[in-house]
Structure formats: C-alpha cells, structure tokens
Amino acid sequence: MPLRGEPTPMTAETPPLALDIDGTLTDGDGRLDPRTFEYLPEWDAPIVLATGKAFPYPVSLCHYLGIDLTVIAENGGVVLADGTVSYQGDPERAADAVAAFEGRGGDLGWPAFDAVNEWRETEIAANVAADLELLESVAGEFDLEVFDTGYAYHLKTPGVEKGVGLRAVADTLGLDPGSFVAVGDSVNDVSMFEVAGRSFAVANADDDAQTAADTVLEGSYFDGTASVLDSL
C-alpha cells in the first residue's frame, strides 16, 4: 500500500528524474507551472520528460526549459536520449483501426486541424468524448489497446509503455533504471513507477497511479511535484 503525505528527505546524490507532464508539471487548468523554469534547469542530474503527447511537445518543452533533449513521448512509442531516437509500435495498424472506427460512425472528436495527432508517429489519440465502447471494440479487432489517461483515449500497440521507454533511456545514458525518481498522475505512469527506484503520485492522480506509487503526495499538480524535488 502506498504511503501518503510529504516525501521523506533523501541524503544521497541528486537522482535522475522521470517526470510526467500533464497533471504533474502543470496546474489545475492544464497550464505549465512557471516554477518548472526555476526547478528543472538547475537540476544536477538527467531529467526525462515522459508523456502521452506527440513527440514535438516534450522536445519543445526541453528546449524552452534549457535542459537536455531526453524524452519519452506517445506513452513510450518514441524515445529520445543522447541524440538517438527510437520508435516502438505499429502506426499503420492504428491508422487502419481508426479508419474502421470512423467507418462505423466513430469520431475522434478533434477539430478539423487535429493538432493532437498531426505529429503523432506511433499511436493515435481520441478525445475523451469519443465513443469509447466502439473504439475498444475496434481496437480488439486490430490487436491494439486503448489507454484512458484522463486527457485522451490512446489507441496503441500493447507492450508500448513509459516503463519500457525509461529502461531504454537508462540504458542509453548508462544509468540504472532503479536510480530514477518518477512523478506522475495517470495510469500511463504505472509502468514507469514500476521501473523507477522511487515513485510518487501527485494528489490529483487517478486510482491506478495512486495504487502503484510508493507515495501519494498531499500536494496536487506541480505543488506535489515541487515537494518531491525539494526533498531530494
């Protein structure tokens, strides 16, 4: 059972971080918390930004934070570390599944210009207003799965997840995956929590993330994340 409350201060050297973005580095309105520009550029160890968003989003965030481009995007579908990019998953199968979904009256639920999927390379995301029952039915026919992160329904290849991405990043950087401290808020962070040596769920996290985390924080959104960073 996860602990609840504030993180216990650590005295070891600064650990590498694996940080979710939405709900973890943001505020309750989904805006990036400005304190990330104070905390993250000064962190004296590698930082991995791990997200379900398309590849350009975390890369851009790294750029504007002034930190190394080390990211896990699309729930593990795209990994960038030390200048090397790797891809997992079957985007063609996902596209075929979406065509079948739409052919049966389904709608991904995005505007005409679909910025959510425009640059997505390994999976396809649907709005949470989409017909989940139909989407899951079609996904099963194509041997795909649907991940509900609370922000979108992700149509993805089974086995592609943030935890696998974190192992790949650690291997590329020559680090022990267990040396990472992970912070997140959603079911797609569970595999990352299982790989990292220490894991925290912010107070706004879903039930899956809270159950999987070593500690459930008192603070929500970046307030919770900041409390972890202050303790390390």
Given this model, what pLDDT does residue 12 score?
60
Tokens of 215: 């500690």
Q: How many CB atoms lie within 10 A of CB 118?
A: 10
CB 22 within 8 A of CB 151: yes
9 DSSP assignment: P
Please list, in sequence order, all residues whose beta carbon lies within 8 angstroms of the beta carbon of residue 93, skipping any fewer than 6 positions away: 142, 143, 144, 157
Given this model, what pLDDT does residue 8 score?
55
**Catalytic site includes residue 107:** no
Task: Measure Cα distances from 24 to 34, 109, 146, 165, 169 in Å.
Answer: 13, 25, 22, 18, 20
| Cα gap 185→24, rounded to integer Å | 6
Tokens of 147: 């991940």
Provide the angle, in degrees to the nearest 10, between the axes of the packed helices 132-141 and 91-103.
130
What single string gives the DSSP state of each residue in 98-115? HHHHHHTT------SS-T
Tokens of 39: 């905390």
**Has this prediction a pTM greater than 0.75?**
yes
- Considering the candidates 20, 22, 185, 206, report the single residue annotated as catalytic: 20
Which pLDDT tens digits describe the chain residue by residue (232 residues)?
A: 566 666 655 546 899 999 999 999 999 999 999 999 999 999 999 999 999 999 999 999 999 999 999 999 999 999 999 999 999 999 999 999 999 999 999 999 999 999 999 999 999 999 999 999 999 999 999 999 999 999 999 999 999 999 999 999 999 999 999 999 999 999 999 999 999 999 999 999 999 999 999 999 999 999 999 999 999 9
Given this model, what pLDDT does residue 13 score?
87
> Strand (E) positions, 138-221?
145-148, 153-156, 181-184, 198-201, 215-216
| Cα gap 91→188, rounded to integer Å | 19
Given this model, what pLDDT does residue 6 score?
63
Residues in a beta bridge with 182 = 18, 199
